[in-house]
Amino acid sequence: MASPVLLKISQAATLTEEERAAISSLIVQTVAAPAGEDIVLQGETPQFSTVLLEGLAYRYCTLPDGRRAVVSFQIAGDWVDLHSLFLDRMDHSIGAVSACLVGKAPHAAVHALVKRYPHLGLAFWRDTTMDSAIMRQWLVNATARDARARMAHVFCEMQLRQQGIGQADDTGFDFPVTQVLLADAVGISVVHANRILQQLKADGLLEFARGHAVIHDLPALWRVAEFDPSYLRLDRGVDAAGA
Amino acid sequence: MASPVLLKISQAATLTEEERAAISSLIVQTVAAPAGEDIVLQGETPQFSTVLLEGLAYRYCTLPDGRRAVVSFQIAGDWVDLHSLFLDRMDHSIGAVSACLVGKAPHAAVHALVKRYPHLGLAFWRDTTMDSAIMRQWLVNATARDARARMAHVFCEMQLRQQGIGQADDTGFDFPVTQVLLADAVGISVVHANRILQQLKADGLLEFARGHAVIHDLPALWRVAEFDPSYLRLDRGVDAAGA
DNA sequence: CGCATCATTGAACAAAATCAAGCGAGGTGG
DNA sequence: CCACCTCGCTTGATTTTGTTCAATGATGCG
């Protein structure tokens, strides 16, 4: 079975047939989430970890006064809340951007798996580390770059990540978000997001409309974003330094 | 031995004497880093993970044009680059704010430890997860709050974290950073940082001078920062859901 | 003392938010 | 089929927030 979960984790670690089977058996249930619906809610105490099998999702925090901060996008193959294994209550929510299919793995089963196969524990751990690396880039983005570079950065990252699962090429990709969502991810107002997008288009870099990004000049886009893709390729798998 | 490392990890997991000894034996070397010096450099391929035994350190990224983005502060007991276990090259640097004492644990030894004691693997994993939770808050901070709230938030967090290791109380704590560093952490210019600090002081919330923070009204500071401390207390240890 | 680093201030400028309005496509109900 | 509504996108005008530039005080240290 070529599930996106196994595909992704296989890029990080060499798995035995037994280990692959063990991972597959983790997912005891698959659930469909319609576009716009929440998959996991802030404040919950989940007993499952969730992996995205299909679709686009986003992680976000809701602030007391209703503002929303998007902290990441998740694509097929991503564990969206593996870290909830250690969280007493979710400190953020996860929503479905497009219609999603998710798999659920009971926390207890994940714990048991890790104890039985420490090697898989490392692989999972590595997966969350990769997520952190992405988040660190977002943080650098938000603290040190202006709106234009930040916006460009989001598109650079999504292009490369989606390419990694065969859903993008150098000329563009589907990205079914609204400008409101994009604004909340970049940390600017919708009005400003709209103007930045127009500017990127006028500069011949990127055209984004109706949930689809057309990239006109990827190298130039990378330059504007100061994009360094190395953070997306943590080249050292879990086997490298092990035994 | 009451090393800060064991103290911190004991809050997350119940350890056997054997496990405690195993962790202690990880640290094969301790090194002193003078204030202002770098502990780990962006671009390196470390063979060790580093744990902070004494002092204050900070994680930061250097951008192509020399700008700097501070992504976190680290205090005694924190592993500053446990995630480098999976990183091919460091995507950020770590610098000593004050004079630091660090312990070094060879990656190979950490790998071996985790395979031998999967339970400790979970504890380490949990530790990095906690780090991520903090980073997520910084990201929310940077994308959704204004300079004043962001600045207040940094002080709220540091107060609580330092209190956790007995180095702060409700009235203040040592925080030997400069305004430049603070500005790079909050993502504003030094000039603005200075004015925000003056404003917080004028409002009777907080006085920060010569590396020391005096807190005049902690509840009010929390309110300004919209501070919710729950992210610092991932109450569920690694034993809870296990066997 | 003299130098370096850090903190502070004012003034001009730029970036981005806010306010307010209008447009266009898709969906719903009459 | 059309009126109407909602949602997402777009635009202009105005205000707020934060930056940059430039200079001047402090503080501490060899």
Q: What 3-state DSSP class applies to A146?
A: coil
In the block, which residue shows the tokens 């999603």? A100
Give the pLDDT score at A100: 96
Closest CA to B38 of B90, B106, B76: B90
Q: Rounded CA gap, A121 and B22, in Å?
A: 19
Q: Chain B: nearest CA to A17, how far in angstroms? A: 19
Residue A203 per-residue DSSP state: T
Return the residue in A83, A86, A226 with the most chain B beta carbons within 10 A, the one to mutate for interface testing.
A86
DSSP annotation of B13: S
- The spacing between the Cα labelled CA in B195 and the C1' in C8, in angstroms, equals 9
* A189-224 pLDDT, tens digit each: 999 999 999 999 999 999 999 999 999 999 999 999
pTM of the model: 0.95
Does B71 sit within 8 Å of A136, measured CB to CB? yes
Of A27 and B4, more confident: A27
DSSP A84: G
Q: Are strands A68-74 and B93-96 parallel, antiparallel or unpaired?
A: unpaired
Q: Which of A80, A140, A151, A235 to mutate to test the interface with B (most CBs of B within 10 A)?
A: A140
Q: Is B134 in the A-facing interface, judged by CB distances under 8 Å?
A: no
A86 close to A49: Cβ distance less than 8 angstroms: no
Higher pLDDT, B11 or A63: A63
Query: In chain B, whose CA is at the least distance from the CA of A65?
Result: B226
Give the closest residue to B138 by CA, choosing from B165, B156, B159.
B156
pLDDT at A242 exceeding the cut of 60: no
Q: In sequence order, what are the beta bridge partners of B58?
A: B73, B95
By C-alpha distance, which of A179, A149, A157, A175 is closest to A232?
Answer: A157
**pLDDT score of A115 more than 50:** yes
From chain A residues 80-99, the ones with a CB under 8 A of any chain B CB are 83, 85-89, 91-92
In the predicted model, what is the mean pLDDT of chain A?
93
The 10s digit of each residue's pLDDT in A39-58 is 999 999 999 999 999 999 99
Q: What helix, strand, coil percent values describe chain B, rounded to 5?
A: 45, 20, 35
As a residue count, chain B comes to 243
Sort out which chain B residues have CB atoms less than 8 A from A236's CB and list them: 86-88
CA of B50 to C1' of C17 (A): 42
- Whether the CB of A106 is below 8 Å from some CB of chain B: the reply is no
Q: Answer yes or no: is pLDDT of A238 > 50.
A: yes
Q: Which of A132-141, A166-175, A187-196, B6-15 has the lowest mean pLDDT?
A: B6-15
- CB contact under 8 Å between A234 and B88, yes or no, is yes
* DSSP for residue B79: B
- Tens-of-pLDDT digits for all 243 residues of chain B? 468 888 888 888 889 999 999 999 999 999 999 999 999 999 999 999 999 999 999 999 999 988 999 999 999 999 999 999 999 899 999 999 999 999 999 999 999 999 999 999 999 999 999 999 999 999 999 999 999 999 999 999 999 999 999 999 999 999 999 999 999 999 999 999 999 999 999 999 999 999 999 999 999 999 999 999 998 876 676 776 544
| pLDDT at residue A243 is higher than 60 | no
pLDDT at A2: 61
Whether residue B213 contacts residue B173, with contact meaning beta carbons closer than 8 Å, is answered with: yes
Taking only Cα atoms into account, the Rg of chain B, rounded to an integer number of angstroms, comes to 18
Region A223-243 average pLDDT: 77
- The answer to whether residues A239 and A15 touch, using CB atoms and an 8 Å cutoff, is no
Q: Residue B52 forms beta bridges with which residues?
A: B102
Q: What is the pLDDT of residue A4?
A: 86
Rounded to a whole number of angstroms, the distance from the CA of A107 to the nearest CA of chain B is: 7
What value does the mean pLDDT take over residues A93-100? 96
State residue A52's pLDDT score.
97
- pLDDT of A21 over the 50 cut: yes
Partnered with residue B62 across adjacent β-strands are B68
The pLDDT > 90 percentage for chain A reads 86
Which pLDDT belongs to residue B235? 64
- Chain A 97-156, CB < 7 Å to strand C: 146-148
- Find which of A115, A127, A143, A239 to mutate to test the B interface (most B CBs within 10 Å of its CB): A143
The pLDDT of residue A3 is 84
Question: Residues A136, A94: contact at Cβ < 8 Å?
Answer: no
Q: Which of B90, B89, B13, B81 is nearest to B49 (CA)?
A: B81
Structure tokens at B122: 């979970």
Query: A144 touching B, CB under 8 A?
Result: yes
User: What is residue B9's predicted lDDT score, i.e. its pLDDT?
Assistant: 86
- Least Cα distance to B90 among A131, A83, A235 occurs for A235
Query: Whole-number Å distance, CA B141 to C1' D9?
Result: 28
Q: How far apart are CA A195 and CA A128, in angstroms?
A: 34
**In whole angstroms, what is the distance from residue B176 CA to residue B157 CA?**
15
Could you tell me which residues are beta bridge partners of residue B49? B105
